[in-house]
Structure 1
Amino acid sequence: MSTTGVASTETPTNSPTPYRWRWVALFVILAAEVMDLLDAVVTNIAGPSMRADLGGGASTLQWLAAAYTLSMAVGLVTGGRLGDIHGRRRLFLVGAVGFTVGSLLCAVSVSPGMLIGARVVQGLFGAVMLPQGLGMIKEMFPPRESQKAFGMFGPVMGLSAVCGPILAGWLVDADYFGTGWRMIFLINLPLGAVAFLGALRYLPRGRAESKPRLDIPGMLLVSLAALLIIFPLVQGREYDWPVWAFVMMGASVVVSAVFARYESRRSSAGLDPLVVPSLFRKRGFSGGMILGLVFFSTMQGFMLVFNLYTQIGLGYSPLKAGLVMVPWSGGMIVGFGIAQGVARFGRAVLQAGTVVMAAGVFGVWRTLETVGSGVGPWQLLPSLLVTGIGMGLLMAPFFDIVLASVEQHETGSASGTMTAMQQLGGAFGVAILGTVFFGLLGGGIATAVDHRADGLRGQLAAAHVAPAAQDRVVADLRKCASDRAVTKDPAATPASCARLEKDTRAAMTSPEAGARIPAALKATASSAFEGGFGSAMKTVLWVVDGMLALTFLLSFLLPRQARPEESGAH
């Protein structure tokens, strides 16, 4: 038995005395979660600056985010199991160091290829680091405190999602020491150092009674299955959903079935599986995986589409768009606090959160329907606050219910699988709601131009534009505005917009027309753009509420309490 450092304060998992430094250790784990969540979103804001500095095509922007998501998703299940084999504290330390080194490589990148490769390094080491946190929380906290500990993930995720774009926009604009976009990665160096030193001092040195062997064939199969499903979900929309995307997703189902059969046979033979099959015989865990997949799809998809709407549709700056979401994050903290006071109601708290969140999303729809394209941050505040409260109520008991029945030898496998489920859910949400949004957007903007066509023709007629030329210009504007909104490369000029410019020049038969026509086109396009974005956003909000209704129904798969046998305790 060790007598130095934190080991002297450690408590065996089966001891009634809780681990002494559990709350400090929780904040170390949450710091790692923050690093991951920030780095998952910052390239969405800083991507254009990166491309302007390093070069590269339109696909560069896509791969800056995709390389991170793919590499992390592929490694998460294996990363969780490695914690069972080599110790969760040790793997957390390795992951923190590797993630920090990957951040440094990102910051010093001199080409798009180097930056994308460094993002892969970040993702792989993040897959080693993140699953260890859930497992250690389960070990460190007694049952009466575990919901409070797990529930803190909700507010942290919400704050990180809001603060990430704000931080990225601020750091890029501030250009400290001439670093520009590189500072969004350099800031991880002190964060990584704090996480490493905190882990070294405060995380428990728990050791498993038996040391399982790594299932190499299972690792390869689950990694292939993850790649086959995540890649088309992340990249499918960018390529207009080609046939190969659906072939890959179908192949993922086949590989997953092969993996499940292999793991079952390996377990029956008395060998150590990568994913312990007994996990899925537990009602809390299996039901939680299904519910979590739908819920995290809803959450990530809603956040993506709402950020697109505020920044592109309403023209908010990244900073202003981030600040709009502050009530949502604040609401999550309020919801988390309420959940602690009613924790004894178990599953009912999660269900109430789903209802409240759905009411908040409906409130956002009602606000857009009432106010229209001139909606401002203060008008969105009440409904976003309610949405956040609902989400806090929903997430507070979620991890506790799902992991409560997981046994010690299953913890690493369960943690990796849960974290992978969050990544997969996020990819599903972005793919589904992003596709719905952009699928509606082009038609919505074209319809908005149609609604404004008579007024535009009147202005063109006043500028002495012939009727035939008016028809051409209106038709060109309709097509150009629609194409501009859904183009994959914002820097590219759609052919329809080039045609609009040509026909507009031809219609300018006088100096007066030369001044009035562009102004009329700009005003009409801007108004139609806002109207089309608002129309698409309102439809997506109905889809989000439908997904929350499905989440509510799936919640009945969960047990009523995390620990029914302890319902009368404490």
Structure 2
Amino acid sequence: MFVTITFVTERIHMSTTHTPPLTARAVWLTLIVVLLADAMDLIDSTITNIASPSIAADLGAGDGVIKWLGAAYALALGSLLVLGGRLGDRWGQKRTFLIGMAGFVLASAVAGLAPSSAVLIGSRAAQGIFGALLIPQGMAIMAATFPKPMLQKAFAVFAPMLGVFAVAGPILGGVLIDANLFGLEWRPIFLINVLLGGVALVMAIAFLPTVPPHPAARIDALSSGLLVVALFGVLFGLIDGSGSGWSAISVAAIVVGASVFAGFVRRQTRTADPLLPRTLLANRGFTAGLAVGLLVFAGFSGLMYVLSLFLQLTLEYTPTQTALNLIPLTVGIMAGSGIAAALIVKLARRLVAAGLLAIMAGIVVMILLLHTTGLDLTWWQLAIATLLMGIGAGICFSSIFNTALGDVSPEEAGSASGSLSAVQQVANGVGSALVTSVFLTLLPSGDLTAVTATLAGLLALIGLCLLAVPLLPKTAVADVD
């Protein structure tokens, strides 16, 4: 969601046939539909941070459910996001959007009514699959149909609203669980999508403009299949092995996934329609941005999950108390994003370094507070640490990808942006699962040991990213011209 907008819109305007610009009324109705879709995505990607302990307890499931609630959604979405964008080009963005929205609503209903953890995790994966059809289409439709002045106004509304949705996920989850509506406990956090998605679906049918499809757009099914299998194999093995011990199954999954990925790379060097232009992979600044983005998003998503578990399992906060205590984190993200928007062109990769240092400072403050107060943290002490982390993360979320695209040509920017967005989704899933596994594995050694050791590991991970900053491009692009 924090991927550069300008480059995506330039590619879409260059590649689509002429579409009559919309009226002001149609622009705002379209924007509402797209915002509803993105709200569902952002809320669902964060809402289980608060809900997972309640879900696991209600279903009588173990730690595996906590790991896979977020991972199943993010991995399915991330591994299919690039393909979803290609399918929209070929079938038409509106048709693909409607299919994605209808499927997302149905999968949400199944999740809300799930009788077992297996059904719940399967429905979360289905949400991710249909989300991969849904999410790429909204921005493409806006870029292809909005008059340029209205497009800039729409983006001015779009960015801060994404921050609001990021804040709303954990808060909404905590409130709904503690409210226990109709005795349904955690289930309304998924069933609410039936209401939101139903409204969005009706509005999309009525108001979403139609962009002509491109039937000639080619989709390399073999490359797409190899990439999906490779990602699933490696990530399943890492997540399963880190939490359940390195069994033969987890090791075999990693080996198979890595082998299939080698086949994917080989295919990309030979096919006439690679998923990524070959010149992109040779671009040092872009590949460095991919690597740094992967580590930062993985580390931060894991950090949010562990903080939520720590507050609920160790400090015994209610879901609502947990959500309220994480507000400084999300406020910091919004503030950091604003800082990045103002300074990204001037500072470029130096801004990335500043964001990483702010995250590290927040983690260090948290570790020091834990060692000096034990488990007797006050709300304002926690707020100082999490606000610092959030500001650093907000800066990084915008500046890493904008800097990574600094040396990318306009012709390659669409594929580059799609790849960065996919990396973000995959990182969210694997980060939350792996870091949660570490925390839960260490928990028998003591609550304080578990949280401080996990934070120390994340500190080292962010420090590793800092070492890679000099490899990023020296210039960056702005979000909106």
TM over 0.5: yes
Q: One-letter code of the match for 1:181?
A: W
1:293 positional shift: 0.6
Is 2:463 the counterpart of 1:549? yes
Q: Deviations over 1:273-296 (max 9, x none)?
A: 334434324455323211111111
Q: CA RMSD, aligned part only?
A: 3.9
Find the counterpart in structure 2 of residue 334 from structure 1: 335
The 1-side partners of 2:401 and 2:206 are apart by 26
The 2-side partners of 1:115 and 1:433 are apart by 21
Judge conservation of contact 2:401–2:420 (CA < 8 Å) in 1.
no
Find the counterpart in structure 2 of residue 215 from structure 1: 220
Find the counterpart in structure 2 of residue 240 from structure 1: 245
Find the counterpart in structure 1 of residue 274 from structure 2: 273
Is 2:229 the counterpart of 1:224? yes
Judge conservation of contact 1:294–1:551 (CA < 8 Å) in 2.
yes
Rate the CA distance shift 1:203–1:383 in 2: closer, same or farther, 3 A.
farther
Find the counterpart in structure 2 of residue 389 from structure 1: 391
Find the counterpart in structure 2 of residue 156 from structure 1: 162
The 1-side partners of 2:358 and 2:474 are apart by 19
Find the counterpart in structure 1 of residue 41 from structure 2: 36
Judge conservation of contact 1:279–1:406 (CA < 8 Å) in 2.
no
Matches within 5 A, 1:376-525: 376-403=378-405, 405=408, 407=410, 411=414, 413-443=415-445, 445=446
Rate the CA distance shift 1:358–1:53 in 2: closer, same or farther, 3 A.
closer
The 1-side partners of 2:251 and 2:156 are apart by 36
The 1-side partners of 2:327 and 2:42 are apart by 16
The 2-side partners of 1:141 and 1:400 are apart by 24
Judge conservation of contact 1:225–1:255 (CA < 8 Å) in 2.
yes
Q: Deviations over 1:119-158 (max 9, x none)?
A: 3321210121223456567767979x98x9599769836x
SS of the aligned residue for 2:218 comes to coil
Judge conservation of contact 2:340–2:351 (CA < 8 Å) in 1.
yes
Rate the CA distance shift 1:380–1:103 in 2: closer, same or farther, 3 A.
same
The answer to which of 229-238 and 279-288 deviates more is 279-288
Judge conservation of contact 2:72–2:429 (CA < 8 Å) in 1.
no
The 2-side partners of 1:556 and 1:95 are apart by 40
The 2-side partners of 1:201 and 1:281 are apart by 44
Is 2:444 the counterpart of 1:539? no
Match of 1:175 among 176, 180, 192: 180
Q: Deviations over 1:148-177 (max 9, x none)?
A: 9599769836x5555434322322332323
SS of the aligned residue for 1:342 comes to helix
Find the counterpart in structure 2 of residue 256 from structure 1: 261
The 2-side partners of 1:282 and 1:78 are apart by 22
Q: One-letter code of the match for 2:311?
A: T
- Structure 2 residue runs of 5 or longer lacking an equivalent are 1-10
1:116 positional shift: 4.1
Rate the CA distance shift 1:380–1:60 in 2: closer, same or farther, 3 A.
closer
TM-score normalized by the length of structure 2 = 0.81
Find the counterpart in structure 2 of residue 316 from structure 1: 317
Q: One-letter code of the match for 1:129?
A: L
Is 2:145 the counterpart of 1:128? no
The 1-side partners of 2:33 and 2:402 are apart by 19
SS of the aligned residue for 1:214 comes to coil
Q: One-letter code of the match for 2:465?
A: T
1:423 positional shift: 2.9
The 1-side partners of 2:56 and 2:376 are apart by 32
The 2-side partners of 1:209 and 1:283 are apart by 32
Matches within 5 A, 1:62-211: 64-110=69-115, 114-133=119-138, 149=155, 156=162, 160=165, 162-196=167-201, 199=204, 205-207=210-212, 211=216
Is 2:302 the counterpart of 1:301? yes
The 1-side partners of 2:460 and 2:170 are apart by 27
Q: Deviations over 1:206-234 (max 9, x none)?
A: 45778322212112211111210221233
Judge conservation of contact 1:440–1:536 (CA < 8 Å) in 2.
yes
The 2-side partners of 1:255 and 1:173 are apart by 45
Q: One-letter code of the match for 2:319?
A: P
Judge conservation of contact 1:301–1:426 (CA < 8 Å) in 2.
yes
The one of the two structures with greater contact order (alpha-carbon pairs below 8 A, sep at least 6) is 2
Q: One-letter code of the match for 2:83?
A: T
Q: Deviations over 1:51-73 (max 9, x none)?
A: 67667777666655554344334
SS of the aligned residue for 1:180 comes to coil
Match of 1:561 among 461, 475, 480: 475
The 1-side partners of 2:209 and 2:340 are apart by 28
SS of the aligned residue for 2:13 comes to coil
Find the counterpart in structure 2 of residue 4 from structure 1: none
The 2-side partners of 1:288 and 1:353 are apart by 14
Judge conservation of contact 1:336–1:392 (CA < 8 Å) in 2.
yes
Q: One-letter code of the match for 1:306?
A: L
The answer to which of 186-195 and 61-70 deviates more is 61-70
Judge conservation of contact 2:70–2:433 (CA < 8 Å) in 1.
no
The 1-side partners of 2:202 and 2:108 are apart by 17
Judge conservation of contact 2:243–2:437 (CA < 8 Å) in 1.
no
The 1-side partners of 2:64 and 2:365 are apart by 37
1:194 positional shift: 4.3
Q: Select the structure of larger CA radius of gyration.
A: 1
1:99 positional shift: 0.5
Q: Deviations over 1:283-326 (max 9, x none)?
A: 55323211111111111121122222221222222211111111
Q: One-letter code of the match for 2:301?
A: Q
Rate the CA distance shift 1:119–1:225 in 2: closer, same or farther, 3 A.
same
Find the counterpart in structure 1 of residue 5 from structure 2: none
1:187 positional shift: 0.9
Rate the CA distance shift 1:418–1:172 in 2: closer, same or farther, 3 A.
same
The answer to which of 100-109 and 134-143 deviates more is 134-143
Judge conservation of contact 2:358–2:391 (CA < 8 Å) in 1.
yes
SS of the aligned residue for 1:266 comes to coil
The 1-side partners of 2:61 and 2:441 are apart by 27
1:204 positional shift: 5.9
TM-score normalized by the length of structure 1 = 0.69
1:191 positional shift: 2.0
The 2-side partners of 1:388 and 1:29 are apart by 26
